[in-house]
Amino acid sequence: MASVLAESRQSIKHGIRGLLDLGAAATGLLQWHERRARSGLTILMYHRVLPAEACTDYPLASLVMPVDAFAQQVAWLARRCRVRPVAEALVELHCPAGDPRPLVAITFDDGYADNFEHAAPILEAAGLRATFFVATGFVETGAPFWFDRAADAWSRLTEQDRAGLFEEVAPGAELTPGLASWMSALKRLPVAERDRGVAAAMERAPGAFPNEQYAPMTPAQVAELAGRGHEIASHGIDHPILPLVDDDELKRELTESRARLAKWTGREITGFCFPNGDSDPRVAAATAGAGYAYGCSTEEGINEPSGDPFRLRRRPVSMQRVFGPTGRHSILGFRAEVTGQRERWR
């Protein structure tokens, strides 16, 4: 019952959002936002591009984009924007080019195999290059991230089991016991405790974790992307929340991942993306000290030339955000997200 109510609330929300998008396009508000975006750099944040059937029941809709929808977005971007990898875009941001189209960078976090298999061919067919933020530990071990294990287990549990798990990590919390609030409670726990919580969920969930659906790229694929002109950048080794780790661990995450990627690609690595977007002045200073030229956050917004290169803002793009009320991809919804038109009334 609760899930039926949640679903109808969701579709009402999508319906209202779709109407507001139409209104914004008809009144010129969308176009005003698009013109405004020309003064800065818009960095889009993707995670995974998968065949539509794999997206339908994907536990974290905020991390996926179906192949066809991604192809439509790329076609739109290739026509309407100057698309560059982040490192190149930052140079152009400071030396305006003759091309008046808005400056956009496309980024992918984590290093999943589908980035190589599905996203890169679509980008290349349109003549575009992107930035791939790779967690080197994920690529080397293939061990799935805790958030994938957690979300996958949650999707296989009964509502009663879910409520029990939620109570364990957030006793007495006045939150809706949904996946998002359970995950954010888990995220704040010390690593060992968090992993125990995830293991308990996996134990209770019927069926097995589908390892193959969460596979990383291989080092050879990472190197191939670099060889084809994409930017390879670091997302650390093990995806920890960096403000919570000590100085030695922070240094190891920054320097060893950078060295590993340089070895695989034969290129200097200048970009970093903070896992979960979490950073602070100590983390930012260590990132600059480790030889990086910029750091991406998950803070939403556009980057003006005067902005902090170690606090780059992005715009998350996912199925959850850009699909319309009918469950279809909406390029108008994509434009509204990309320009930040929806930011004020989210």
Binding residues for Zn ion, rule: CB under 5 A, are 109-110
Distance, in Å, from the CA atom of 292 to the CA atom of 296, rounded to the nearest integer, reads: 11
**Residue placing its CB nearer to Zn ion in the complex, 45 or 226:** 45
Measured from the CB atom, the residue of 60 and 170 that comes closer to Zn ion is: 60
Spatial contact of 313 and 302, defined as CB atoms under 8 Å apart: yes
Q: Which is nearer to Zn ion, 110 or 238 (CB)?
A: 110
Name the minimum Å distance from CB 228 to Zn ion. 23
How far apart are CB 194 and Zn ion at their closest, in Å? Answer: 15
Smallest gap from Cβ 276 to Zn ion, in A, equals 6
Q: Which two tokens stand for residue 137?
A: 């530990």
Please choose, from the candidates 40, 62, 64, the residue with its C-alpha nearest in 3D space to the C-alpha of residue 50: 64
Nearer to Zn ion, 85 or 137 (CB): 137
Q: Which is nearer to Zn ion, 33 or 235 (CB)?
A: 235
Gap between the Cα atoms of 329 and 333, Å rounded:
8
Q: Give the whole-angstrom CA distance, residue 199 versus residue 70.
A: 33
Q: Which is nearer to Zn ion, 110 or 152 (CB)?
A: 110
Minimum CB separation of residue 133 from Zn ion in Å reads: 7
What whole-number distance in Å separates Cα of residue 266 and Cα of residue 276?
27
Q: How far is the CB of 180 from Zn ion (least distance, A)?
A: 16
How many CB atoms are located within 10 Å of the residue 63 CB? Answer: 22
At closest approach, how far in Å is the CB of 279 from Zn ion? 13
Which residue's beta carbon is nearest to the bound Zn ion? 109
For 258, residues 6+ apart whose C-beta sits below 8 A from its C-beta are 234, 269, 272, 290, 291, 292
CA atoms of 127 and 86, how far apart (whole Å): 16
